[in-house]
Amino acid sequence: MSELNGYKSGSNLEKVLRAGHFAVTAELGPPKNADGEVVRKKAGILKGFVDAANITDNQTAIVRMSSIGAGAIAFQSGLEPVMQMTCRDRNRLGMQSDLLGAYALGLRNILCLTGDHQTFGNHPESKNVHDIDSLQLVQMVVGLRDKASLQCGEEIKGLNPRFFVGAAENPFGDPFDWRPYRLGKKAKAGADFIQTQLIYNVPRFREFMKRVVDLGVHKQVYILAGVGPLKTPGAARYMRDQVPGMDVPDEVVARMEAAGKGIEDKKQKAAAFKEEGLKICVELIQQMREIEGIAGVHIMAIEWEEAVPIVAQRAGLLPRPVLNGN
């Protein structure tokens, strides 16, 4: 551990959080092809505006460039990646070998996820794996780091991977009462940070966080609140009505709808929707900053990476801290 000077992984995200800064992460969706240039371009948009960017892993069960491949490209482009890893597509053998490879490529952060069910994606007829669940994945990655042992207990001879380990939590998933305990279980499993599902219902999230704070879980993990700019009222309605575990209040949908009222020109209308979406997102970040136990925000601008610098700027999150050396 000595070469990491007390850091678990030495990642930028870890350093920013440890230094007590309000952290900012974003999301970078890899392309549905083998074009590394797409990743370089997106990394270029986010670089300097976030502390690290999550690279999604076959998000919504749709085949995309791997989070490790895209993550390595982002890393080479100067953007620190958070490799997302789901339990849907690989068993513990595949996951661990990928973790060794990812570390060798320079990746230092991981977000452990269950994974959307494959029936949602473009290969609904496929077999899923779920050999281990997201909590057991957290334990496994922590074991690689802190015990230098594989999940089976076998010792890793030579360099062991030392990741900064994250997990997700959906504060709006059911059973609502159980969620703070589940978060506590993830902390107990050894998670270093948590990124939450998109938050639009702030009062309900406050209620969740109050219970998290009462349990003292916020002192065991850094909790990054998930926020994201809405592009259109349709997107807001879709998330409200169609996405399981999402909570988008009617007022948010109404605000998005009202933003385009009276505008005839299609382009202007789209711009007005986007502007309102950005505005709501900035307001959400301001509200998140005031909630006890929140250590940062995770900005999910799906296929709209350009929105991240704007939101970060307007929310007063810039410039991002530069923590060189140790």
**Shorter beta-carbon distance to another protein: residue 51 or 57:** 57
**Shorter beta-carbon distance to another protein: residue 132 or 225:** 132
Please, what is the minimum distance in Å from the beta carbon of residue 248 to another protein? 13
Q: How far is CA 324 from the centre of its chain?
A: 24
**Shorter beta-carbon distance to another protein: residue 175 or 203:** 175
How deeply is 314 buried, as exposed, middle or buried, from its count of CB atoms within 10 A (0-12, 13-18, 19+)?
Answer: middle
Structure-derived torsion over alpha carbons of residues 284, 289, 292, 293, reported in degrees to the nearest 10: 100
Please, what is the minimum distance in Å from the beta carbon of residue 169 to another protein? 7
Backbone φ and ψ for 243, nearest 5 degrees, come out as -95, 115
Please, what is the minimum distance in Å from the beta carbon of residue 192 to another protein? 16
Please, what is the minimum distance in Å from the beta carbon of residue 81 to another protein? 22
Which residues here bind another protein, judged by CB under 8 A?
87-88, 92, 114-117, 119-120, 128, 130-136, 139-140, 151, 168-170, 173-175, 178, 181-182, 185, 188-189, 197, 244-245
**Shorter beta-carbon distance to another protein: residue 87 or 301:** 87
Nearest residue to 107 (alpha-carbon basis) of 60, 188, 161, 143: 161
To which H or E segment does residue 297 belong? Answer: strand 294-299
Please, what is the minimum distance in Å from the beta carbon of residue 20 to another protein? 28
Please, what is the minimum distance in Å from the beta carbon of residue 63 to another protein? 19
What CA–CA distances, in Å, run from 271 to 157, 276, 301? 56, 9, 16
272, 260 in Cβ contact below 8 A?
A: yes
**Shorter beta-carbon distance to another protein: residue 30 or 180:** 180
* DSSP codes, 212-277: HHHHTGGGTSEEEEEE-----HHHHHHHHHHSTT----HHHHHHHHHHTTT--SHHHHHHHHHHHH
**Shorter beta-carbon distance to another protein: residue 24 or 132:** 132
